[in-house]
């Protein structure tokens, strides 16, 4: 099976165009777009327009080409548009919303999760404590959740977050694959300790819960994003955790993607300019 893996496109139209061309050129069976799919503009409440116009147009191309397209919204994509995104995906046979979902393609189970470990930024729609003893970073302000009528301000984010499931809980609630050693996990958040989670300031922010989960379960592949600059900071975009290969391609001003051949396990990272 040939997979094109990309992440963190943030509504960049020329990158979406490139994604389709790359998938066709490489004769991909599956495209994986792992989160932060929508524009990160000053008015996030207009992201629904991107879903109904540009994203649906992109989905139609992949569906017509009969290329499986696995995707989900990420931490910068407002949760109030989840139902619209799901409805849009369901219109097409080859498009699948992978958020907390399992999909079998050609005998391989793909499992997705789009929650992230809490960060200092105010948008908290998809934020979770990593584990029950998680130590919060210093916050940039009160927490914000998206609602149909605008922002809901969470004055005491620490207390509120303690009422939510942790990343560890969310991972344990995922559907299990029939064959773990042949499975592919698509998780927006990168694991800790592998050099896939380094921010521009040098801070490592990966998930310990995810690292532990992958260490125990050992899927074939684990695909990540979220920290755009990490591969440029560390020089690491692929790491081994036991028998699991973890990939975090990053995303910069160039179009960055990874081609995976699951039969030969050849894995290559590419950069293309506009």
Q: Average pLDDT across each block of 10 residues of the chain; the chain has 274 residues. List them in order.
A: 98 98 98 97 94 97 98 98 98 98 98 98 98 96 96 97 98 98 98 98 97 98 98 98 98 98 97 96
| Token pair of 225 as six digits | 């994003």
Q: Is the pTM of this model over 0.95?
A: yes
What gap in Å lies between CA 91 and CA 261, rounded to an integer? 28
Tell me the CB-side half-sphere exposure of residue 77, using CA atoms within 13 A.
Answer: 30
What is the CATH classification number for the domain harbouring 41? Answer: 3.60.21.10
What gap in Å lies between CA 102 and CA 104, rounded to an integer? 7
Pairing of strands 102-105, 108-113: antiparallel
The pLDDT value recorded for residue 41 is 84
The pLDDT value recorded for residue 6 is 98
DSSP secondary-structure letter at 10? T
Contacts of 164 (CB under 8 A, 6+ apart): 128, 129
Pairing of strands 127-128, 68-72: unpaired
Q: Would you say how long the chain is, in residues? A: 274
DSSP letters along 75-122, please? Answer: TTS-GGGHHHHHHHHHTSTTEEE-TT-EEEETTEEEEEE--EE--SSS
| Token pair of 24 as six digits | 């066709």
What gap in Å lies between CA 133 and CA 166, rounded to an integer? 10
The pLDDT value recorded for residue 50 is 98
What gap in Å lies between CA 89 and CA 153, rounded to an integer? 30
Pairing of strands 150-154, 184-187: unpaired
| Bridge partners, residue 68, by sequence | 30
Is residue 65 within 8 Å of residue 24, measured between CB atoms? yes
> What range does the domain containing 17 cover?
2-272
The pLDDT value recorded for residue 42 is 79
Tell me the CB-side half-sphere exposure of residue 169, using CA atoms within 13 A.
Answer: 12
């Amino acid at each position: 099976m040939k997979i094109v893996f990309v992440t963190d496109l943030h509504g960049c139209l020329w990158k979406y165009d490139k994604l389709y061309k790359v998938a066709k050129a490489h004769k991909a069976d599956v495209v994986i777009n792992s989160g932060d799919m929508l524009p990160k503009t000053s008015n996030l409440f207009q992201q629904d327009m991107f879903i109904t116009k540009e994203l649906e147009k992109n989905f139609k191309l992949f569906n017509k080409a009969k290329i499986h397209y696995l995707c989900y919204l990420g931490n910068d994509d407002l949760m109030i548009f989840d139902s619209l995104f799901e409805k849009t995906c369901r219109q097409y046979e080859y498009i699948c919303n992978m958020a907390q979902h399992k999909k079998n393609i050609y005998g391989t189970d793909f499992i997705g999760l789009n929650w992230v470990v809490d960060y200092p930024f105010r948008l908290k729609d998809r934020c979770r404590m990593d584990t029950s003893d998680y130590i919060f970073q210093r916050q940039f302000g009160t927490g914000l959740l998206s609602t149909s009528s605008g922002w809901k301000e969470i004055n005491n984010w620490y207390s509120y977050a303690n009422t939510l499931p942790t990343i560890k809980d969310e991972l344990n609630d995922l559907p299990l694959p029939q064959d773990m050693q042949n499975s592919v996990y698509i998780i927006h958040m990168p694991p800790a300790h592998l050099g896939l989670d380094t921010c521009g300031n040098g801070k490592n922010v990966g998930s310990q819960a995810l690292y532990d989960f992958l260490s125990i379960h050992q899927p074939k592949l684990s695909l990540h994003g979220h920290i755009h600059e990490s591969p440029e900071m560390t020089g690491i975009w692929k790491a081994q955790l036991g028998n699991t290969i973890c990939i975090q391609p990053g995303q910069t001003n160039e179009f960055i993607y990874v081609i995976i051949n699951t039969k030969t396990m050849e894995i290559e990272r590419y950069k293309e300019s506009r």
